[in-house]
Each structure stands twice: as C-alpha cells, then as structure tokens.
Amino acid sequence: MRHDTSVRQARPANLPPLWLSASALAAGITVAFGVVRWISHFTLDPNAQDTRVWIVAARIGLTYGWSHIYDLDLERVASAGLGPTGSLIDSMHLYLSPPPAAWLVIPLAWLPIPASYLIWTIVNLAAFIAICWLVCPGPRFVRLTVLLVSLAIWPVHYQFWLGQWVVADLFFLGLAWWLLERGRWQLAGVMLAIPFFFKPQDALLVPVALLVSGRWRPVAVFGLTCAVLAALSFESLGPAGVTAWLNDLSLARADPHTAPMTYSYLFGQPAAGAVEIALAFAALSLAWLRRDRLGLVFALGLVGTTASATYLHEDDVAILVLAAWIVLRAQPSLVQRGWLLVGIAAAQFIAIGLPLPMLLWEPLWLALLGLEPRLQRLDASRPALFRRLAQSSGRQ
C-alpha cells in the first residue's frame, strides 16, 4: 500500500504546473482560431497576399531583366488578372526589398500565386518552429508553450496571413545570436547580413549595438557580406534600376499608411523624428552599458530598431518575439516577466487598429532591459530578506 501511495504522489510531480498548462491551452485555442481565419482569407482571395509582390518581381527579372524589377508599369502588367486586390500596385503594394529577396523566390516564380504562397507559408512556419526550439530555454513542454504563445500574438499571425518576410529575418537573426553565443563570429556575421536584404527595417540597429558593445569582429564580417551582396545588387540593377528603386521608396515613404507602427502615429514631424532618434540613442547607450551580456545587447538592438523605425508595419513587430525568447533564456527578473506579459496584451491591440499600447510599451521595455541585471539582483536578495524577517519574528 505504501508503494502504491508513493506512485500516486509521484504522478502529479511529472505534470506541468497548472498555469503553464492553462497558458498552452489558451494559446493553442488562439492559434487554432487563427488558422481557421487564415484558411478563410486564403480561399476568399488566394492572390491577395504580399507574397505576390515578390513573385511578380522575380517574374519581371527573369523575363525583362533584373534592372526592371522596380518598374511599376511592368509590375502592373505582371499582376494583371490576379483579382481586384492581387492586381493592385500602389504605394502600399509594390516591390521595395533589395534584389536578393526576388532572387530567393525564383524557384516559386512560375508556380501559381496561391501555390507559391502556400509553399512560402509552410517554409516560414518550419523556420519559425526551428528557430524557436533552438533559442527558447527549458523542457519541451515549456518550449511548446512559448511557441504557441508566440504564434498566437497578432503581429506573428498577421505576418503569416500576409505571407511576409519577417520570419525570414527572425530566423537568420536568431541563428546569428546562437552562433555568437558559441563564439562562431565569422558565420554569425554572414547570418546577420542576410536580413538586411529582405526587410532591413527589422534589424537596423542590431549590428550597431554589437559594435558599441565591443563585438567588432562579427560586425566586420557583416559589413563585408553586405558589401558583396550590395555590389551584386547594384550590378544587376544598373543606374536606371537604382533610380527606379529610389523613386519607389519615395512613393512608399510619402504615404502615411506605410508607417502605422512608428511615433508619427502620435506626433507630427519633427517631434516624431526626435523621439525616434532619442530611443535609438537610448538603446545603443544601454547596449554599451550592458556590453558584458550578449543577450541583452542583441535584445536592445532589436527593440531599439522597432522603437526608432521611421517605416514599420504591423507585421514587423513580430521580430520582437526573438528579443523575448533571448531574454527568457537568462531567467529574467519577475518585473521583466511581468512586462513581457503586458507586451503580449499590447501586441493584440494592433489587431483592432490600436498601435498606442505597443508604442507606449516599447520605451519602458528598453529601460527594463537596461535595468535587468539590477532587477535580477533584487530578486536574488528577496529570499534572504524574507529569511531574516522570519528569523527576527521567531526571536520575538
């Protein structure tokens, strides 16, 4: 009988805590709901995804030459017949990424747009799961919970909905951090450069943060890799292609709807620019201050990038899940964990067109990242304080 009792008592110890199980269940339900919405969106207008813009650019490059991938008239011709949304080419729907992004999707170029979108989504989902499993700490059920919570966050869901490139950036940035953690700075520098030829606005301050923290070697490799890819890009475009690219960038920047997640939502210029510069300076200053902690330096580079961006969409905010994963590896303070939970709620408000909670949340996260070593020391001192209070109470 005693043996049976011990077996019965051992079983609950093998189960995850109730709060963790509840979190996994709630996130799983949210992800399932998101998948249903994704399928509905896909079946209603399978040509309307942002993937279409990259596929069209690749088709133009293969047909007319790579110097024409920023030609809006050719983009309209190549998009004709793809439906009312799929054929739309304007300041919100045009190819703006550097040429390597179009080169990457050449294998998908001549497939039907819906098939290309489906393949791209599956590849992105596999990459997201792989890098989450690589970066996130803890046992398998903890990692699974973090993965489900991450997929349930609106900006992540929205990037899959659109067929965007944020996960590609997140994957290579996550690899760069993982390699740096293991001292493999040469390959890390190469991985760090790749996102700058997909969506550079999601990674802009990361190499700068590494540089101010004294990690110049991976930044040197990053610069060399960027120089090679930039030279190949400019060679493929020629002067006319570069001019067309700059014109397209000007067209997009002139549209206020292309920066819904920047401080221009709250302030007009030049106040918004001043706030963004101040946040970038704060992030880099804190990266220098916490230069002994690679995880904090990397996270500060990511958060500083989104906080100081002048061109940022709702899906771009998904890059912050990588910063959260990296922070979670270091057993963050209770305050840090609480603020991450607030960030999840802030991100969900974006789904109803309210960027304000996220815009208010980001600066304080920058500050808390800078304070994290002190917050951890404070957490460590609390048990000793409680023990002293208990001993004092016992003596009384």
Whether the predicted pLDDT of 23 surpasses 50? yes
Count up the domains in the chain and report the number. 1
- Mutual angle of helices 166-181 and 320-329, in 10-degree steps: 30
- Which carries the bigger pLDDT value, residue 392 or residue 243? 243
Looking at every residue in the chain, the average pLDDT score rounds to 89
DSSP string, 239-291: HHHHHHHHHHHHHHHT-GGG-TTSGGGT--TTHHHHHHHHHHHHHHHHHHHTT
Whether the predicted pLDDT of 225 surpasses 60? yes
Whether the predicted pLDDT of 385 surpasses 60? no
Q: 90 has which bridge partners? A: 93
Condensed to tens digits (0 to 9), the pLDDT of residues 323-366 reads: 999 999 988 999 999 999 999 999 999 999 899 999 999 999 99
Hey, what's the torsion of the CAs at 345, 347, 348, 351, to 10 degrees? 160
Condensed to tens digits (0 to 9), the pLDDT of residues 109-163 reads: 999 988 999 999 999 999 999 999 999 988 899 999 999 999 999 999 999 998 8
- In a domain, residue 59? The reply is yes
Whether the predicted pLDDT of 26 surpasses 80? yes
Long-range contacts of 339-344 (CB under 8 A, 24+ apart): 339/364, 339/365, 339/368, 344/149, 344/153
What is the average per-residue pLDDT within 3-19?
Answer: 60
Whether the predicted pLDDT of 395 surpasses 80? no
Q: Please choose, from the candidates 135, 109, 302, the residue with its C-alpha nearest in 3D space to the C-alpha of residue 205.
A: 302
- In a domain, residue 124? The reply is yes
What is the average per-residue pLDDT within 82-94?
Answer: 76
Per-residue CA distances from 286 to 21, 142, 209, 369 (Å): 35, 30, 9, 8
What is the average per-residue pLDDT within 18-34?
Answer: 90
Q: Where are the beta strands (DSSP E) in the chain?
A: none
Condensed to tens digits (0 to 9), the pLDDT of residues 278-297 reads: 999 999 999 999 999 999 99
- In a domain, residue 94? The reply is yes
- The pLDDT of residue 7: 43
- In a domain, residue 353? The reply is yes
- In a domain, residue 54? The reply is yes
- In a domain, residue 391? The reply is no
What is the average per-residue pLDDT within 372-392?
Answer: 71
- In a domain, residue 236? The reply is yes
What is the average per-residue pLDDT within 21-42?
Answer: 89
Contacts of 256 (CB under 8 A, 6+ apart): 264
- The pLDDT of residue 253: 82
What is the average per-residue pLDDT within 80-91?
Answer: 75
Give the whole-angstrom CA distance, residue 37 versus residue 157. 10
**What confidence category does residue 5 fall into, taking pLDDT thresholds of 50, 70 and 90?**
very low
**What confidence category does residue 390 fall into, taking pLDDT thresholds of 50, 70 and 90?**
very low
**What confidence category does residue 384 fall into, taking pLDDT thresholds of 50, 70 and 90?**
low
Whether the predicted pLDDT of 28 surpasses 60? yes
Condensed to tens digits (0 to 9), the pLDDT of residues 198-223 reads: 999 999 999 999 999 999 999 999 99
Long-range contacts of 360-364 (CB under 8 A, 24+ apart): 362/279, 362/303, 362/306, 362/307, 363/279, 363/282, 363/307, 364/339
Range of the domain at 106: 28-373
- In a domain, residue 160? The reply is yes
Whether the predicted pLDDT of 392 surpasses 60? no
- pTM, two decimals, is 0.91
